[in-house]
């Protein structure tokens, strides 16, 4: 089933004013791992004006990513996270924004290079996703948008079992890590040199 149809079915099954994160997880079925990552990162990737969304999505994102590293077969979230609910209006806003994008690219995203979705590869992806989740959680204005987009790309690749899309996302993540590492190294060196120049 394509991701766009999965999202439409999710809205049809839940007609209440609020939708629990647990309902989203159950609706994803066997794609729950990648589905959680996809749904959690999407509002930050667009971005949508939902107050406090970074803090909300980063917690389940990092928890689920860590479970990929540990080799869990099914995702687990503590009840205080799984029972967190979103306004249906906000969920519909997210879905309506992404459907037009998804339907354009789902025709070219297809199962290929499935060795990238094997358990050992998923552990490596999990580590990458944990770091991206941590970056998203940082209070940086618009600084977490690019990491969220990469999480969406990787999770979409996992949902559709498209190894090429996953690899492109992983490479993009490594480039972000390299830039951040360089910036931190430069900043620390600058601070040390500044301290040495003071009497």
Is 136 domain-assigned?
yes
Q: Is residue 122 part of a domain?
A: yes
Q: Establish if 197 belongs to a structural domain.
A: no
Render pLDDT for 139-178 as a digit per residue (tens, 0 to 9).
766 667 888 888 988 988 888 888 899 999 999 999 988 8
The model's pTM is 0.76
33-83 confidence digits (pLDDT tens): 777 788 778 777 776 555 556 666 777 788 888 888 888 877 877 777 777
pLDDT at 197: 67
pLDDT of 171 reads: 93
In a domain, 147, yes or no: yes
193 occurs within a structural domain? no
Tell whether 184 is covered by a domain: no
Residue 186 lies in a domain: no
Q: Is residue 196 part of a domain?
A: no
By percentage, how much of the chain surpasses pLDDT 70? 84
Give the residue with greater pLDDT, 62 vs 9.
62
Number of domains forming the structure of the chain = 1
- What range defines the domain where residue 98 resides? 3-171
The whole-number pLDDT of residue 1 equals: 61
Count of Cβ atoms closer than 10 Å to residue 29 Cβ:
10
The pLDDT of residue 188 is: 80
Say whether pLDDT at 185 is over 80.
yes
The DSSP result for 53-105, as a single string, is HHHHHHHHHHHHHHHHHHT-SS----HHHHT-EEEHHHHHHHHHHHHHHHHHH
Burial of 72 (0-12, 13-18, 19+ CB in 10 A): middle
């Amino acid at each position: 089933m394509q991701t766009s149809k999965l999202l439409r079915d999710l809205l049809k099954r839940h007609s209440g004013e609020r939708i629990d994160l647990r309902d989203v997880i159950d609706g994803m079925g066997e794609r729950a791992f990648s589905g959680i990552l996809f749904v959690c990162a999407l509002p930050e990737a667009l971005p949508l004006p939902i107050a406090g969304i970074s803090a909300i999505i980063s917690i389940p994102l990092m928890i689920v990513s860590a479970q990929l590293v540990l080799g869990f077969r099914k995702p687990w979230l503590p009840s205080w996270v799984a029972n967190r609910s979103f306004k249906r209006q906000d969920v519909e806003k997210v879905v309506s924004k992404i459907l037009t994008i998804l339907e354009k690219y789902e025709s070219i995203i297809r199962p290929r290079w499935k060795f990238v979705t094997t358990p050992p590869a998923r552990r490596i992806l999990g580590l990458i996703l944990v770091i991206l989740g941590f970056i998203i959680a940082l209070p940086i204005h618009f600084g977490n948008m690019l990491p969220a987009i990469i999480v969406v790309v990787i999770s979409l690749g996992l949902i559709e079992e498209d190894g090429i899309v996953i690899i492109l996302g992983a490479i993009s993540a490594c480039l972000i890590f390299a830039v951040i590492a360089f910036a931190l190294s430069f900043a620390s060196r600058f601070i040390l040199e500044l301290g040495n120049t003071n009497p």
